[in-house]
A = this chain, B = another copy of it.
Amino acid sequence: MFQICQDRAMEKKDGKRRDKALSRDQVISAAIAILNESGESGLTFRTLAQRLATGPGAIYNHVQNKQDLLAAAADVMIQSALSVNRDELAPGAAIRAVALDVFDIIDAHPWVGMELSRAPWQPAMLLIFDRIGANLQALGVPDMAQFHAASTVTNFILGAAAQQAAAIRLHADGAQRATLLSAAARAAIHQDKKSSPFLQRMAGNLTEHDDREQFSAGVDLILRGIRG
């Protein structure tokens, strides 16, 4: 299991060179620490080098480029989120649990959601897809329908991830975010009142809804469609 090291890397001896060799895991772990503390804008090859007490060039010996680094970091987070054993649950409940595990880690660390939606082909996404699919089999969904069903749930999770990550990035405070969303809706409504009747009726829900509950309801809705 990958262990995220929270403590700062070894201090550089005031001499010339690093005392111990760098490793890919150390680089990724330090990157995750920075991302969790300062968000995606805080992660720079310079800040990362500073935390690792080295220079920017050294990092490229263990990581291909920044995209590779971000993908690996997101993969670690998703794997950790899905490491909870859900085998004792019924298939439907297991799917909901997996989805909520992903939601929760993105809620806590928005950069994971941004990274997932930026590069959905990475192993993290495949892992989610596989977990969903395995439980669909247990749910008794016909073989042919399993692929469509798994894709649908995965796409929904991905969209919610992008939505949630973007919303949190706007404002950490929940109340302010709700205000912002409703303000955006109100602006759209005001722009031409006739062409957005649904937004007007939903103005209250837009300001007061709970994101996690909404997400859970969405999963249930799709599950109902899958069960036919």
Chain A residues engaging chain B, CB cutoff 8 angstroms:
114, 117-123, 126-127, 129-134, 136-137, 143, 146-152, 154-163, 166-167, 170, 180-181, 184-185, 187-188, 191, 195-199, 201-202, 205, 209, 214, 217-218, 221-226, 228
Interface of A is mostly: helix
Copies of chain A in the complex: 2
Q: Chain B residue with minimal CB distance to A209?
A: B147
B170 touches A214 (CB 8 A): no
B223 touches A126 (CB 8 A): no
Q: Shortest distance in angstroms between A16's beta carbon and chain B's nearest beta carbon?
A: 39
List B contacts of A127 (CB < 8 A): 188, 196
Q: Shortest distance in angstroms between A82's beta carbon and chain B's nearest beta carbon?
A: 10
List B contacts of A201 (CB < 8 A): 133, 137, 143, 146
